[in-house]
Amino acid sequence: MLYGVKGIASVGFHYRDLRNEDRNDISTVVANVGLEKTFNKDKTTADAGFVRRPVESTFSSTTTYDEKLWNLGVKHLLTHKLRGRAAIYYGNRDWEESVLTGTRVLVGTRLFAIGSSVVKRTDQLFGYNLGFDYRVRKWLILHADYNFSRSNSNISALDSTEHAMSLRATLPL
């Protein structure tokens, strides 16, 4: 621990044989690397990190993407029961399979593409999270979070913005 900075690192290789000739196998180096520093007699914690992982898509046109994200965060104990959290992240998603772009026209039972091209999809991702943790009892912590996420794709029809609110509870043992 240099200057009170803690480090964490896990690196590995992810391989998955999908046994399907129509889909790509997933072979990716995965990593989770981070640094953490505490201040103010352990009331404030700042962290920074990098995550790389394969993620299975929910879209039918693509099966997986390779996600690489950088993140920064801070947590601060506001009272002995209430903690505030804030984090930002930035990165990209590189999709495994190519996507057909252009206008599609259905004539009878046949699908035709006009002005089309086949491209590899890549998304730039940015977001932030704001949250609070409230310790009701030793055995019960309530969490409230707001998450904003913006994805800008090289295929403009696939750009997206997401606002999510969540309420959770933790029961520490």
At 29, the pLDDT band (50, 70, 90 cuts) reads: confident
CA distance 72 to 68: 14
Structure tokens at 142: 């309530």
The beta strand positions in the chain, using DSSP E, are: 5-16, 26-39, 44-56, 64-77, 82-107, 110-137, 140-153, 160-170
Residue that wins the pLDDT comparison between 93 and 86? 86
Provide the pLDDT for residue 96: 75
Q: How many domains does the chain have?
A: 1
Average pLDDT over residues 110-125: 78
pLDDT digits (tens, 9 = 90+) for 142-165: 999 999 999 999 888 789 999 999
Average pLDDT over residues 13-26: 64
Nearest to 95 by CA among 48, 54, 130: 54
- Tokens 């026209």 locate to 105
The domain in which residue 53 lies consists of: 5-170
Residue that wins the pLDDT comparison between 135 and 106? 135
CA distance 65 to 102: 22
Q: Does residue 23 surpass a pLDDT of 70? A: no
Q: pTM of this prediction?
A: 0.76
